[in-house]
């Protein structure tokens, strides 16, 4: 490579979800509606949790934070993807790509950590109910949320630094609709094997540790429920079902995207859409449809607003 001239890449070009212009305009409308639903649903949960004192508990404190992270996570990729549907050439500056990559991993890692903390919260609530208020006080919950953001920041910085330290001199075409570490480092004009191993090890360790923590929490919960009454088991499992569904919807696509061999296939884009857009839209639906307390709080919030308007 020595002695050859290379031009530093200043921007990247996305291939997007499809090259069909008619389909792109249809997708523009669909994903615009989906993104508005993400914002509306998650903001509604945040407002509901904040406004109802009955929901000022660790479980709903974490739920409000999950909604905030879902807004951040979807906002990293969705607005750019929606805007790109209107253009034939979909470009992003090198700096914009780095920023998108950084905030994508920041929000995704924060969500993985938060889902793990929520599993621990359910473990304490079900297995140690008498100690719950002391072990999961709101002060401790605030510290846990602060720690998860610090951990997510460190993870994202490591991923970003490992990516931008590589030389990029062409090509600059990314077969996706957003910047992520695997497709970006493929474009580096140097051997990326060692960097790829470090990146996979970093993400893999976080995913593995969190998965084992989640698994251990629910194994212990299931074992502890054997001696409960049928009604007690039903109530306990009901509080865990929504969380388990959210974990499956979020970690499933993550595992597909980041643990499979680095080859390109069309289904990857579908998985990426599900992971970055669909899951943040489904989370509010899952928690509101299965949670009577949240639905009742939303009704009270609605009635209070209607009353205020009439007054």
Give this prediction's pTM.
0.88
Would you state the pLDDT for residue 147?
96
Q: Where are the domains of the chain?
A: 11-310
Q: Look at strands 90-93 and 11-14 and give their pairing.
A: antiparallel
pLDDT of the residue at 98: 95
Contact in structure between 288 and 295 (CB atoms under 8 Å): yes
Q: What is the reported pLDDT for 152? A: 95
pLDDT digits (tens, 9 = 90+) for 274-290: 888 988 998 888 877 76
What is the model's pLDDT at position 3?
42
For the segment 23-75, what is each residue's pLDDT rounded down to a tens digit?
999 999 999 999 999 999 999 999 999 988 888 889 899 999 999 999 999 99
pLDDT at 271: 80
> pLDDT at position 97, please?
95
Q: Cβ(72)–Cβ(153) under 8 Å?
A: no
Looking at the chain, which runs of residues are DSSP E strands?
Answer: 11-14, 90-93, 173-174
b/e code 83-115 from CB counts within 10 Å (16+ = b): ebbeeeebebebeebbebbbbbbbbbbbbbbbb
* Residue 311 confidence (pLDDT): 47
> What pLDDT does residue 307 have?
45
Question: What top-level class would CATH report for the domain 11-310?
Answer: mainly alpha
Element at 202 (helix H, strand E):
helix 193-224
pLDDT at 11: 92
Ranges of residues in the chain whose predicted pLDDT is under 50: 1-5, 263, 306-307, 309-311
Among residues 70, 72, 272, which one has the least CA distance to residue 179? 272
């Amino acid at each position: 490579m020595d002695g050859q001239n290379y031009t530093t890449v200043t921007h990247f070009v996305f291939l997007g979800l499809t090259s069909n212009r008619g389909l792109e305009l249809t997708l523009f409308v669909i994903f615009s509606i989906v993104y508005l639903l993400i914002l509306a649903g998650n903001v509604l949960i945040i407002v509901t949790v904040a406004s109802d004192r009955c929901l000022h508990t660790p479980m709903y404190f974490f739920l409000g934070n999950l909604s905030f992270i879902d807004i951040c996570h979807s906002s990293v990729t969705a607005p750019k993807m929606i805007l790109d549907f209107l253009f034939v050439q979909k470009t992003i500056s090198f700096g914009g790509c780095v920023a998108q990559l950084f905030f994508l991993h920041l929000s995704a890692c924060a969500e993985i950590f938060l889902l793990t903390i929520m599993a621990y919260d359910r473990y304490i609530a079900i297995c140690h109910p008498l100690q719950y208020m002391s072990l999961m006080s709101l002060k401790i919950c605030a510290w846990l949320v602060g720690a998860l953001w610090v951990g997510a920041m460190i993870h994202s910085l490591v991923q970003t630094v490992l990516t931008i330290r590589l030389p990029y001199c062409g090509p600059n075409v990314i077969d996706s609709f957003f910047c992520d570490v695997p497709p970006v480092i493929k474009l580096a004009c140097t051997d990326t094997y060692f960097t790829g191993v470090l990146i996979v090890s970093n993400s893999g360790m976080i995913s593995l540790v969190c998965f084992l923590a989640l698994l251990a929490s629910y194994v212990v919960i299931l074992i502890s429920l054997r001696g409960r009454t049928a009604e007690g088991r039903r109530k306990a499992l009901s509080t865990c079902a929504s969380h388990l569904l959210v974990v499956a919807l979020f970690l499933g696509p993550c595992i597909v995207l980041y643990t499979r061999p680095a080859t390109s296939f069309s289904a990857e884009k579908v998985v990426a859409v599900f992971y970055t857009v669909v899951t943040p839209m489904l989370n509010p639906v899952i928690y509101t449809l299965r949670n009577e307390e949240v639905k009742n709080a939303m009704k009270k919030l609605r009635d209070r607003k209607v009353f205020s308007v009439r007054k």
